[in-house]
Structure 1
Amino acid sequence: MTTHASTAAPHRQPVEGRGKAAGRVPGQTHDEASAAIAADETPLLTAHAVSKFYGPRIGCRDVSFELWPGEVLAVVGESGSGKTTLLNCISTRLMPTTGSVTYRLADGGSRELYRMSEAERRMLMRTEWGFVHQNPADGLRMTVSAGGNVGERLMATGARHYGNIRAAATDWLERVEIAEDRIDDQPRAFSGGMRQRLQIARNLVTGPRLIFMDEPTGGLDVSVQARLLDLLRGLVTDLGLAAIVVTHDLAVARLLSHRMMVMKDGHVIETGLTDRVLDDPREAYTQLLVSSILQA
């Protein structure tokens, strides 16, 4: 694996109990979890030399990496570093200027995402992928009930039995700590933290293999952030999800991710196992990010 900086993937080791068990388990360090990631030796997603330019301005440049099944990758950097541009390119929300992104489908076949039709990419987003926005209103229908928001995604995959859809919605609201008696309430009646949990339920109800998260705790109170992060960590581990998390908060990266990429001015300047990058940063910019957190 190559990037603008060195991006050697963690050594792949066969593990027992693949799939759900391949995620991080309680008491396991990031290094141990990274050695136990993935169901096989084939990456789930491969980005090669992805660049996005806005005229003369660089959004991101020559970014390459591999994401393995069950792995959580954090992309960190300050505002304007290019991390959100990269996320949007990888998730097909934005067309890159150059480069390619290859994804391994559930049937085992691999496809280059930007050679797929728009309809195929939309289906991928409804079934195998999820996207958690920083602002929950961007990922929810605010005038549709909580149950309807969750059920709508099930209906997009072919579910039609009202009782089954409502039962699945009820189950998922419970899993994200939203009371059953709020199922018919609209998201505009919810707090920010509840809206974010509802958005997570909406994304996970179809059992995606990969989820993208753009500053998932941004704008929330510290206590609400902690509760949401604990919920996310449990769900990602229990479901064996792969995830790409964009965040400026290194505490979020440490709690959720196995591996980290640090971006500055559109380039990846450092990458490695999360604990290694945070405990022993090698680049001056990464050292500055880490020290600023320690001094805060």
Structure 2
Amino acid sequence: MTDAPLLRVHNVSKFYGSRIGCRDVSFDLWPGEVLAVVGESGSGKSTLLNCLSTRLLPTTGSIEYHMRDGKYRDLYRMSEAERRFLMRTDWGFVHQNPADGLRMTVSAGANVGERLMAVGGRHYGNIRSTATDWLGRVEIGADRIDDQPRAFSGGMRQRLQIARNLVTGPRLVFMDEPTGGLDVSVQARLLDLVRNLVNDLGLSAIIVTHDLAVARLLSHRMMVMKDGLVIEQGLTDRVLDDPRQPYTQLLVSSILQV
């Protein structure tokens, strides 16, 4: 692990007129670290994720990324083309609804291959071979490589979206409720898969979830949001086992009682 943060977030706020999306959020994300952002619907966690991933322009604040050349760049001082290139290569974004992160009318292999072409892959045989390998890593059979995502179940689509994102060897992956809408048994297998891939690849990840069990399983550190503010943060086990804020205590106890 390097001694420099991968992402430096300083006083990020997003306002929608008089309504607060998120306010004064600051943190560092380290290489190989998984951060969970948790809270109820409307807490501001998705707004924050969209600001961090350059999908939404913050009202104030700065977000700096440690580029592969060792220099920090303010994401919102980069050109649109530079940000798009970062999203296609060094970053991944896993949507809650896999259809938002896949091209539904091309094959599973082409979905993975497109990302490889974005980083210069041109040899058809090599692209197909790498795509086959990655489908295997996310537990999709090689015989499904020419099937379109519309022929897949929800869990398989989510695994395909993960393969599409990770095939370029990104250093940072954003995940927005990655197990939302899936059956419990499918969720469990997917979470196990994600945890193993993140560990094996040494990825940094920011995961937005309302599910504290997901946060405990996947993350090293956790931020709890309420009304657009980060009200508690710390090591995941510490926050869940010894929550200090009344709101966090309520969240944890409500889960335990279910």
TM range (shorter): over 0.9
Please give the residue correspondences for 1:29-68 in structure 2 after superposition, counting only pairs within 5 Å.
Answer: 39-68=1-30
Task: State the identity %.
Answer: 84
Cα deviation, residue 106, structure 1: 1.2
Residues 1-296 of structure 1 mapped to structure 2, 5 A cutoff? 39-296=1-258
- The 1-side partners of 2:14 and 2:230 are apart by 13
Query: Structure 1: how far apart are the matches of 2:68 and 2:86?
Result: 10
> Structure 2 counterpart of 1:209, which letter?
R
Secondary structure in 2 matching 1:108: coil
Q: CA deviation at 1:79?
A: 0.1
Alpha-carbon shift at residue 294 of structure 1 (Å): 0.3
How far the C-alpha of 1:293 sits from its partner, in A, is: 0.3
Q: TM-score, normalised by structure 1?
A: 0.87
**RMSD over equivalenced CA pairs, Å:** 0.4
Secondary structure at the counterpart of residue 160 of structure 1: coil
- The DSSP-based 3-state class of the residue aligned with 1:130 is strand
Task: Report Cα offsets for 1:240-283 as digits up to 9, x if no partner.
Answer: 00000000000000000000000000000000000000000000
Deviations 1:38-68 (A, max 9, x none): x221100010000000001000000000000
C-alpha distance in 2 between matches for 1:203 and 1:93? 16
How far the C-alpha of 1:107 sits from its partner, in A, is 1.5
Q: CA deviation at 1:105?
A: 0.6
Stretches of structure 1 that go unaligned for 5 or more consecutive residues are 1-38
TM superposition score normalised by structure 2: 1.00
Which runs of 5 or more residues in structure 2 are unaligned?
none
Q: State the SS of the aligned residue for 2:105.
A: coil
Determine the C-alpha separation between the residues in 1 that align with 2:28 and 2:71: 16
Q: Distance in 1 between matches of 2:120 and 2:233?
A: 40
Displacement of 1:212 in angstroms is 0.2
Runs of 4 or more consecutive aligned structure 1 residues displaced over 4 Å after TM superposition: none
User: Deviations for 1:47-99, whole angstroms, at most 9, x for unmatched residues?
Assistant: 00000000010000000000000000000000000000000000000000000
Specify the alignment match of 1:20 in structure 2. none
Q: State the secondary structure of the residue aligned to 2:57.
A: coil
